[in-house]
Amino acid sequence: MAPRPTSLIWRIHALRVGATIAFLIVIAEALVLLWPSHRERWVQRAERQFFTKIELPGERGLIYDRNGDPLALNVPGLILYQTQDSVRLPEALRSTYGIQPVKHVPPKGARLLAYGLPYTVKRLLQSQDSNVNDGLWIEFAWIRKYPCGPATSSLLGVVGRDGYGLGGVEYFFNDYLTGRPGYRQVFRSAGGVKFTLPDLPRVNPQPGHPLYLTIDRTIQELAYEVLERRVREVEAQWGYMIVTNPQTGEILAMVNVPSPDPNQPGIPRYPTNHAITDPYEPGSTFKVVLYTLAYERHIISPQDSVETSPGWVQFGRYRIHDVHNLGKVTYREALVHSSNVAASLLSLQVDAKSLFEMAQRFGIGCPTGISLPGEFGGKVRPLSKWTDLYKANFSIGHGVLVTGIQMAMLYGAIANGGLLLQPRLILGGTHTPRVIRRVTRPGVLDTLTSILEGVVEEGTGRRAKIPGLRIAGKTGTTEKVDPTTGRYSKTKSITSFIGFFPVEAPQYLIVVVINEPKKGRFGGDVAAPAFREMALRLLHLDLVRQPGKTSEELRDETL
Whether 306 is in a domain gets the answer: yes
Q: Indicate the residue among 148, 178, 212 that finishes a domain.
A: 212
Whether 174 is in a domain gets the answer: yes
Same domain for 198 and 340?
A: no
Rg of the chain on CA atoms, in Å: 35
Same domain for 237 and 154?
A: no
Q: β-strands 63-64, 211-212: how paired?
A: parallel
Give the tens place of pLDDT for each residue, 343-375. 999 999 999 999 999 999 999 999 999 999 999
429-439: average pLDDT: 87
Whether 353 is in a domain gets the answer: yes
Same domain for 147 and 223?
A: no
Q: Indicate the residue among 190, 212, 234 that finishes a domain.
A: 212
Q: Alpha-carbon distance 490 to 509, whole Å?
A: 30
Whether 488 is in a domain gets the answer: yes
Q: Write phi, then psi, for 185 (nearest 5 degrees).
A: -105, 140
CA distances from 241 to 154, 294, 460, 468, 491 (A): 12, 30, 20, 24, 23
Q: Indicate the residue among 179, 212, 245 that finishes a domain.
A: 212
- In total, how many domains does the chain have? 2
| pLDDT number for residue 268 | 61
Q: Which of the four pLDDT bands, split at 50, 70 and 90, describes residue 256?
A: very high
pLDDT at 132 over 60: no
Non-local CB neighbours of 320 within 8 Å, separated by 6+ positions: 312, 313, 340, 341, 344, 392, 393, 396
Same domain for 240 and 270?
A: yes
* The 3-state secondary structure of 138-184, one letter per residue: EEEEEEEECCCCHHHHHHHCEECCCCCEECHHHHHCHHHHCCECEEE
Same domain for 135 and 266?
A: no
What is the extent of the structural domain holding 423?
A: 217-544
Q: 343: domain CATH number? A: 3.40.710.10
Mean pLDDT of the chain: 87
Same domain for 188 and 282?
A: no
| pLDDT number for residue 471 | 98
Q: Write phi, then psi, for 529 (nearest 5 degrees).
A: -60, -35
Whether 434 is in a domain gets the answer: yes
Same domain for 446 and 497?
A: yes
Q: 116: domain CATH number? A: 3.90.1310.10
| pLDDT number for residue 559 | 41
Q: Which of the four pLDDT bands, split at 50, 70 and 90, describes residue 285?
A: very high
77-95: average pLDDT: 78
Whether 360 is in a domain gets the answer: yes
pLDDT at 489 over 90: no
286-313: average pLDDT: 97
Same domain for 239 and 151?
A: no
Q: Tell me which of 51-65, 127-141, 304-318, 468-482 is least confident.
A: 127-141
Q: Are 251 and 257 spatial neighbours (Cβ–Cβ below 8 Å)?
A: no
Same domain for 224 and 196?
A: no
| pLDDT number for residue 131 | 46
Whether 556 is in a domain gets the answer: no
pLDDT at 2 over 60: no
* Stronger pLDDT, 554 or 14, i.e. the higher one: 14
Instruction: Record the pTM.
Output: 0.83
Please confirm whether the linkage preceding 502 is cis (ω < 30° from 0). yes
Q: Tell me which of 15-19, 293-297, 387-391, 453-457 is least confident.
A: 15-19
Whether 94 is in a domain gets the answer: no
Q: Alpha-carbon distance 176 to 168, whole Å?
A: 14
pLDDT at 388 over 60: yes
Same domain for 353 and 476?
A: yes
Same domain for 499 and 529?
A: yes
Same domain for 206 and 287?
A: no
181-200: average pLDDT: 61
Query: Could you tell me which of 346, 319, 320 has the C-alpha nearest to residue 335?
Result: 346
